[in-house]
Each structure stands twice: as structure tokens, then as C-alpha cells.
Amino acid sequence: MAPSLPRGFEWGFATAAYQIEGGFDQEGRGPSIWDTFTHLEPSRTKGANGDIACDHFHRYEEDLDLLKKYGANAYRFSISWSRIIPLGGRDDPINEKGIAFYNKLIDGLLDRGITPWVTLYHWDLPQALHDRYGGWLNVHESQKDFERYARICYERFGDRVKNWITFNEPWIMAIFGYATGGNAPGRSSTSDQATEGDSTTEPWIVGHAQILSHARAVVAYNKDFRPHQKGKIGISLNGDFYEPWDSQDPRDAEAAERRMQFHIGWFANPIFLKKDYPECMRAQLGQRLPAFTEADFKLLNEADTDFYGMNYYTSQFARHRDEPPSDTDYVGNVDELHSNKQGQSVGEESGIHWLRSCPGMFRKHLTRIYRLYGKPIYITENGCPCPGEEKMTREQSVNDAYRQRYFQDHLDAVGKSITEDGSVISGYFAWSLMDNLEWSDGYGPRFGVTFTDYKTLARTPKQSALLLNNFITSRQ
């Protein structure tokens, strides 16, 4: 018998503003760090940018109709900070045309019976704030500006939006933006392409700024908006599940746990447990890891976060290293591998090098996170590109058997974690509604349940788009 999902289980699809909207300089929107990053020469995004992207800014009605057609009861999207406040700051002007766009989007969802889930920050910091004071590198200033931005969103949209996510994947923002330099703003002291940055310190400062900014946004919501708006607020954290490369070696078991602490505990310990950073991080990073002040802990204790948003794609094996870590190590001094000591693969390969299908480990991951942090879990991203899909025609891509199997297997894992392990899992958002700009990978990988023709921008549903409705409703 297939594992069941709870009645009232929320499900739908997820997107991010910069990846789909386009309209980058229209109706008052200001530039973000991703606008700047995608226009660097030589290109660091395979020549791609989000100037037009999927043109969702003009085609949103068509995209909302797709959600309705697919049977989704919820939709997770992000707001472009620089479309709301073009210069980003707490004393800078609000762009009413940007407000109007998201009002139309929210109302369009509600008219179709679809619940809006809003992410406040999906990596697109207003460029003006980066220029003004270093953006997330300035812990003090960035908190204040993010809180004001969040308050504007609560004020203007909170009468209809009851589900808020403060940050999407702060780990990615901190590490890829400020350690490896592969993402905006592209700061790194280890990348030949970067001209600025310090990979030994900056990612940890940025992570600290995002944690405290999250806390301020949560406290603001709980104090001034929750009593009458009656919504909920959380954060979406990414993180793979790790098992020991050698199951008989306790050093590899320790390495697997340490890797997950560097990936997830970094953010989840302060936010959900109201504790300092994991001890293994303190031990390795020392003074490079910022300290929480007494006032910071007071803020964290007041920031009652309702749910754990989980972005999950794959799992890996962790092998310990005997040599000491470098000052630029950010994984906890481990090797990350797709096969274990016996040569067994962690899972079936997908259409992108880092992603394997590992539903059994997904179940373990869900159960571990629920038992550690004790909050209801919403899976805010989960998905994959099919093997070879990057080179497929529309007709080939639409017949996405691998993706259908991936969704089924991972939703089965969700059901088992609920029914057999006792986890509280309340929703699932497939990534993504449509093929889109996959950040530094450009328009190559296709994660969408809708095929996007990037020449005509025509949308074509893939078979997986309609499978999810049947699969989920049959298990409730």
C-alpha cells in the first residue's frame, strides 16, 4: 500500500523572481546584484541573463492558468526587492508600480483558488545596497534595510498573503556569492575570475547577517502583523543528506554529521534551537566565525519561526580527511562523493552532474530534520532535470519519465517519513513551474514541469506537470 499524505497537504510549484520575471528595467525596477553579475564580461553565467528570462512579468496570467490547469493548490514565488524599493534602503522611495504588479499576481492566484506563498529574498539584493555599504557584508545596516523591506511587503500584501518565507537558501548566497564567487556578487579570493573578496571570512559574515535579518523580519511580523493578519513565517534552507563513505569507519560517520552541521546547522541552530553555531564550526573556524552578542540572542529568542522550509535535491557520501582544513574550507574538512567505499552509487544520475535521485536518503533527511528542530516541514523545493534533457527537443522533453519517477519516489519518501517515522510534513513545492534561468548555469539545465521555448517563450506542459495532482490527491 502506498504511503499516505495528510488531508489538507499543500502542494504546488515554486519559482524565483530573477529566474522567470524579466522586465528588468521596466516600471521602476532597480538593478539587483544578479543584473550586474549576468552582464559581466567575460560572462560568468554562460552568456545568459535575466533581462527577459521567461517574461513572466508580462505573461503572468498565462502562467497562473498553468498552475490552475495542473491542479496546484499553492504557488511559491519570490518578490524582487528592487522592484519594490529600487534603491533598497529603509529611507529610499517605494515603487508603486512594483507593488501593483505583485498585487495583480496575488489577486490572480486567489481568483483561481491558489494559495500564495511569498519568499522575500531569493538572492537578488538591490545593487544600490551593495554599492552603498557592501550589502550583506555590513551586518548592522543590512538588517535594518531588510526589516523595512519585509514590513512593506507585510503592509501591502499581508491582508492576502498568509505564508511568508524570509530567505531562500542562505547557504548558497553566502558560499557561492562570497566563497567560490560562482554566484552574484561573485566575490572570492580563490576564483581566478573574481577581483574582490576574502573567502576566509566573508561567507561567515554574510551568513551572520542573513540569520539576524531573518530574526528581525520574524519579530516584526509576530509583533505588528500576525495578530490581525494571522499568517505564518519560516525560512527555506538547503542541504544534502550525507552518509559515511565507509560505513565501518567512525571517522566517516563523524564527517557525515559534521558536513550536515556546516550545511544546515549553521543556520538552523541559531534560528530554531536559539543556540550558537555548531561546535564543529566554532572548532574549525575560530574567530573567523562571528560571535552572537547578548542582544543578538535576545532577538533570536523572540523570533518564533513557524516552519522549516526544506529545499532538497540529492544526497552524498562523506569521507573524512586526515590533513587539517585550509582557511578557505567551507564543508567541514570532508570529501563529498557520489559513490561509497564499495563503489555503490548514491543514486541514479540525473541531467546535471551534482544531482542523483536518492529517495531513501531523502526520507532519512526529513526524519532527521524534524527530530532535530521540531518544526513542521514544508518541502519548498524538490526536482530535477532528466538525463540529456538539456539537448532534447520539446517533444522529447515533454515525455519526462525520469522526472515523473523522481517525483513519485520522493513523495513516497515523504509519506513514509510521516506515517512510519512520525514526521510532521505539511506541504510540497516542485521545482520548478517552468524551465528558466538556472543562475550561473544559464539556460541549459531544465528543471521545469513546463517546457520553455527560449526563442518564442511558448510554454508546453510536460507529462510530470499533471502527474503530481493525480499522485498527491490519490494519497490523501
Catalytic residue list: 169, 381
Calpha distance 366→369 (Å, rounded): 5
- State the Cα–Cα distance between residues 252 and 274, nearest whole angstrom: 28
- Is the CB of residue 22 less than 8 Å from the CB of residue 53? yes
Residues 6+ apart with CB under 8 A from 468: 11, 70, 71, 72, 407, 430, 449
Please state, in angstroms and rounded to a whole number, the distance separating the CA atoms of residues 365 and 350: 20
Residue whose cell numbers read 580527511: 321
